[in-house]
Structure 1
Amino acid sequence: MKLLITGGTGLIGTELIGRLRDKYAITLLSRDPEQAMESFGTGVKALKSLDDVSDLSDFHGVINLQGEGIADKRWSASQKARLQQSRWDITRSLTQRMQACEQPPKVFISGSAIGYYGAQGDEVMTEDKTVDVPDDFAHLLCADWERLALDAQSATRVCVVRTGVVLASEGSALQKMLPPYLLGLGGPLGNGKQYFSWIHLQDIARLIEFLLEHDECQGIYNGTAPQPLPQEEFSAKIAKVLRKSHFMRVPAWVLKLLLGEMSQMLLTGQRVEPARLQQAGFEFEFSCAEAALRDCLLPASSSEQNG
């Protein structure tokens, strides 16, 4: 069976393709197809754009992971537009192509993020929670992204994954957090009471594979581990795993000065739980933050796989 994957050279896409390439014939979209095919080797085909795909009817499933990194740059007006266009345009195009197919793909899995929930304090956010945060950019970005994907339900089975902060040994947000800890200057952000909802890279790839292969699954799914933590507790676990001190606190005003509007994502957070995934029978390899951090930060010596 054939799969089409957008965003396949990103952190999640690379892990996912590694899991799926022995079971599916994979075509991915990449701005540099030759480099992508060289990276993945034989068995993975790369095209430059959706315009190079003649007919989506050839594919069993479509997995849409494309989108510029939300924390890569300060949120200027032009950067906000790039964040929107990098998500909305490809999702709209995929949906329209599937709606026009005589025999559309059997499943469409599309990305979103827990930023959809906005600032909700310590209230537990499961997939059935309705939120209204009209002044929150991340919420508006994700809400329209999801709407464009869910429009494809008229043609096929659709799953939307609201991903939390992905933890990995390389290339994830975790690496950007480490320098202060490595200097012995680690500590909470702001008051540290805001919740931090995370997921191990292996588990986000595994759950996408799970949704791909379970025909009864459709709709919204939270792509987060079942044990979100207050940020100060998560921060303390990083320090513990690295055997470093944990006493510095980054004041909220410093983050606001450095990051502007984007700082709200770090200072408010969301307490997200994957209720629908667990109800569907998905089992996490890494449900405990300390086990996940040990695997990412001490991979050679880590033997703990769950907690």
Structure 2
Amino acid sequence: MERSRIAVAGASGLIGSALVRSLAADGHEVVRLVRRTPRGPDEVRWDPARQHVDASGLAGCDVVVNLAGAGVGDRRWTPEYKRLIRDSRVLGTAALAEAVVSLPRPPRVFLNGSAIGFYGETGDRVVDEGAPPGDGFLPGLCVEWEEAAAPVEEAGVRTVFLRTGLVVARGGGAWGRLFPLFRAGLGGRLGDGRQYWSYIALHDEVAAIRHLMDGEELAGPFNLTAPQPLTNREITAAMGRELHRPTAFAVPAPVLRAALGELAGDVLGSQRVVPKRLLESGFRFAFPGIDEAIRAAE
């Protein structure tokens, strides 16, 4: 892709910060959306809760990437925090969509965050982008999140939904919590360990986003997960192998439910999601296997 002006919401998060570094390293002009007073021309003020974006700061952007949202696993799911999780995504996306369609020259592509939580509990069943949404809080959230970008699609801007799985990285997300536990010898399976986890190395997550950014014919939902989901038991064994630590500990399901509340359903749930459309588009993973994904995160 030629040097472009690219706006990123959620630029300080795990994925956003890695994406910004990658884009800047290749000479792209990156504009970060911030909630405070901008400190320079590379920042744009926005307030997703109030659905406000300084649209003038998006002028001239070829690409807008929305990765903003409160962390799903950061706190126990109280009614108040569930509202924050929803509003930070749905209201933020709606605000960005309104700003994008108001521009005299809209960007050529809008990439909006989403998650494999869209599919809900899938058990042993393999699902791709053609599967319908599941039931529950996360599937409902993902549906609203994607629907909030409808004005951009209707305006004729190519729109991509990034249905991301569990990102293997040290700096945040679920794996950011797993690494210290396993290094301390406290790692182990969660529940019975039979639930499928659909993961992706952070390097591949960023590469996939950039691949979708560049592909002029690529639109709609794409699963950003490694080609072969594994069970929690298999991933636990891999963490032990790669970090050279025992994995004898196991956290029983009742303990997880007591500690995490409703969030435990997401931890214990099974999602066997595959990136069918991403592979069909020609994307090639650098770290498709769990062992190499863990090593890449080291």
Task: State if a TM-score over 0.5 links the two structures.
Answer: yes
What residue in structure 1 maps to residue 237 of structure 2? 236
Structure 2 residue runs without a partner (length 5+): 47-51
Q: Which amino acid aligns with 1:189?
A: L
What residue in structure 1 maps to residue 189 of structure 2? 188
How far apart, in 2, do the equivalents of 1:33 and 1:15 lie?
23
What residue in structure 2 maps to residue 304 of structure 1? none
Distance 1:242 1:152, change over 3 A: same
Which residue among 24, 30, 33 is the counterpart of 1:26?
A: 30
TM normalised by structure 1 equals: 0.89
The offset of 1:183, in angstroms, is: 3.4
How far apart, in 2, do the equivalents of 1:25 and 1:125 lie?
37
User: Can you list the C-alpha shifts for 1:146-184, whole angstroms capped at 9, x where unaligned?
Assistant: 111244211200000001111113234213113442333
Structure 1 residue runs without a partner (length 5+): 38-43, 298-307
Question: Is the deviation greater in 157-166 or in 101-110?
Answer: 101-110
The offset of 1:32, in angstroms, is: 4.3
Aligned residues: 288
What residue in structure 1 maps to residue 76 of structure 2? 74
Which residue among 53, 56, 72 is the counterpart of 1:54?
A: 56
Q: CA RMSD for the aligned pairs?
A: 1.7
How far apart, in 1, do the equivalents of 2:168 and 2:179 lie?
12
What residue in structure 2 maps to residue 302 of structure 1? none
How far apart, in 2, do the equivalents of 1:59 and 1:180 lie?
42
How far apart, in 2, do the equivalents of 1:76 and 1:185 lie?
27
User: Can you list the C-alpha shifts for 1:48-82, whole angstroms capped at 9, x where unaligned?
Assistant: 31533316442111100110111001110100111
The offset of 1:294, in angstroms, is: 1.6
How far apart, in 2, do the equivalents of 1:295 and 1:185 lie?
21
Q: Which amino acid aligns with 1:3?
A: I
The offset of 1:85, in angstroms, is: 0.9
How far apart, in 2, do the equivalents of 1:33 and 1:174 lie?
32
Q: Which amino acid aligns with 2:43?
A: A
Distance 1:231 1:179, change over 3 A: same
What residue in structure 1 maps to residue 49 of structure 2? none
How far apart, in 2, do the equivalents of 1:55 and 1:179 lie?
40
What residue in structure 2 maps to residue 166 of structure 1? 167
How far apart, in 2, do the equivalents of 1:103 and 1:31 lie?
24
The offset of 1:234, in angstroms, is: 0.3
How far apart, in 2, do the equivalents of 1:60 and 1:178 lie?
37
Q: Which amino acid aligns with 1:248?
A: F
Distance 1:171 1:180, change over 3 A: closer
How far apart, in 1, do the equivalents of 2:44 and 2:285 lie?
33
How far apart, in 2, do the equivalents of 1:55 and 1:185 lie?
47
Contact 1:158 1:219 in 2 (8 A): yes
Contact 1:99 1:154 in 2 (8 A): no
**Local SS of the residue matching 2:250:** coil
The offset of 1:289, in angstroms, is: 0.4
1:45 aligns with 2:42: yes
User: Can you list the C-alpha shifts for 1:166-217, whole angstroms capped at 9, x where unaligned?
Assistant: 1113234213113442333322101111001111111111111111111010
Q: How does 1:157-306 map to 2 (within 5 A)?
A: 157-297=158-298
How far apart, in 1, do the equivalents of 2:122 and 2:12 lie?
32
Contact 1:227 1:288 in 2 (8 A): yes
What residue in structure 2 maps to residue 139 of structure 1? 139
**Local SS of the residue matching 1:48:** strand
Which residue among 108, 124, 134 is the counterpart of 2:110?
A: 108
1:13 aligns with 2:16: yes
**Local SS of the residue matching 1:87:** helix
TM normalised by structure 2 equals: 0.91
**Local SS of the residue matching 2:76:** coil
